[in-house]
Structure 1
Amino acid sequence: MPQLPPLTKALILACVGVYFLFELVPGAGWFALWPLQSGNFMPWQPLSYAFLHGGFTHLLFNMLGLWMFGSELERVWGRRRYAQLLIAGALTAALAQLVFSALMHSNAPTVGASGALFALLLSFGMLFPNRIITPLIPPIPMKAKYFVAIFGTLELLLGTRLLDFGPTNVAHFAHLGGMLGAYLLIRYWRTRGPRRLR
């Protein structure tokens, strides 16, 4: 397991701190991502929502993913590019969720770093496609490119209800939006010949 580089460590501490803060003090709703039509949308929410989580398990799995994939990417890219990737993932995930909420006439808020995490996941698969990883679910060693492809396909199938396990509060299109943001940013970087982009 990788050690924590500075920005990844700071983000994990920030998310954990925010989670326990709002467990004690009300007010998290002002920072969740509310649909535009809800009347509760504020301009800071497309970033602030990523620091909130809907429960301890939600927080735990997102922080585990940030540790596993973010640590490696921060070391490869450096703090600046890594931060740019996370912001792009969070923003495109928010945009995708806002569009989906508008189309579905939903007024439910969205929270969590999952969109940014899926941006990291896709980035890891693009930079290290043949790296063998063993995910928690399923605990089967596989190449990173296959892991990313499986998760992306599942998100698409679940989001479009082609694969339906009943009612859920998971923002599947936010996850896909995060992956799209990462893909577009990495493609842009590669056209400009950035350092250490494979």
Structure 2
Amino acid sequence: MPPITPTVRNLLIVNVLLYFASGNLFPVDLFALHDPRSEYFRPHQFITHMFMHGDTMHLFSNMFSLFIFGPMLEHHWGGKRFLIFYFVTGLGASLLYMGIRYYEVSQVMDAATAFLQNPDPIDFKRLLEAANLNTQRYEQVLVDFYRNPENPQLIAETKEFVQLVSERVVNGSMLGASGAVFGILMAFGMLFPNTKLFLLFFPFPIKAKYFVFLYGAFELYAGVQRNPGDNVAHFAHIGGMIFAYILLKIWERQRNNFY
């Protein structure tokens, strides 16, 4: 691994400073990426969300990956091209995520509308599933609703709950540099496929190309599986890798040397 390079160093500094400033000097929601139907959405969020992080571990994992894999790419491309790559993959990740997110939010909004117009336990369960909530947590409510579908108090309580869930989902946000970081991982695996990596959670060395493939396969599986309570934007990670692959195919058309 070469010494830390200027662009990587500056990105690290900016991300860390903005993390500690967020919440104190400005609200995170102003810069995190929201659904276009949210009252909090602003166009600049497609870029600014890449410099926001949810907690210290989120920040550390992204910055650690940038620190480990970024310098070799900047050394290979130069600072200007590396920065272009960083922003293009980060933006590409957000575009793919937003496309899928738009569909998922629409499913929740449709289920909420159907329930509010005609409250019944079937539509209530559909709303829970569309919002990716653990239906087992609301099993007793569902049982009571099936037994007493005309209970006015139960209908009023579930209506209020559905409205809250719908608003929370529509106003949910994505933040973090993960899309760009996964783009960096993909580029590293393509440019230096046979470089052996020593990972803390892996008992033996693994070549970069296999590590990237396994990580990408896991993210795709997790994104499709959509386990209840999983708040990780897996398709943003996949988006970063896809756009990195496209850029590498354009930029490295003549490349025939691998390491």
Fold match, TM over 0.5? Answer: yes
CA distance, structure 2, for counterparts of residue 138 and residue 36 of structure 1: 40
For the Cα contact (< 8 Å) 1:2–1:68, is it kept in 2? no
**1:155 and 2:219 aligned:** yes
**1:187 and 2:238 aligned:** no
CA deviation vs aligned residue, 1:38-97 (integer Å, no higher than 9, x gap): 232211111110000000000001000000010111111101110111011111111011
Alpha-carbon deviation of 1:138? 2.9
| Structure 1 residues 197 and 28: CA distance shift in structure 2, 3 A | farther
For the Cα contact (< 8 Å) 1:190–1:197, is it kept in 2? no
CA distance, structure 2, for counterparts of residue 158 and residue 22 of structure 1: 29
Q: Any gaps of 5 or more consecutive residues in structure 1?
A: none
Alpha-carbon deviation of 1:148? 0.1
- Which AA in structure 2 matches 1:48? T
What's the TM-score, normalizing by structure 1? Answer: 0.92
What is the aligned-residue identity percentage? 38
What's the TM-score, normalizing by structure 2? Answer: 0.71
Alpha-carbon deviation of 1:139? 4.8
CA distance, structure 2, for counterparts of residue 19 and residue 139 of structure 1: 33
CA distance, structure 1, for counterparts of residue 232 and residue 202 of structure 2: 19
What do you get for the CA RMSD once the two structures are aligned?
A: 1.8
The structure whose Rg is larger is 2
Which residue matches 2:135?
A: none
Alpha-carbon deviation of 1:197? 8.2
CA distance, structure 2, for counterparts of residue 118 and residue 197 of structure 1: 23
Which residue matches 1:79?
A: 79
Which residue matches 1:111?
A: 175
Segment of structure 1 superposing worse, 129-138 or 47-56: 129-138
CA distance, structure 1, for counterparts of residue 70 and residue 225 of structure 2: 30
Aligned residues: 194
Q: Any gaps of 5 or more consecutive residues in structure 2?
A: 106-168
For the Cα contact (< 8 Å) 1:50–1:90, is it kept in 2? yes
CA distance, structure 2, for counterparts of residue 145 and residue 184 of structure 1: 16
Which residue matches 2:234?
A: 172
- Which AA in structure 1 matches 2:249? R
Q: Equivalences for 1:40-119 in 2 at 5 Å?
A: 40-105=40-105, 106-107=169-170, 108-119=172-183
CA distance, structure 2, for counterparts of residue 169 and residue 25 of structure 1: 26
Find the partner of 2:207 among 143, 150, 173: 143
CA distance, structure 1, for counterparts of residue 58 and residue 90 of structure 2: 16
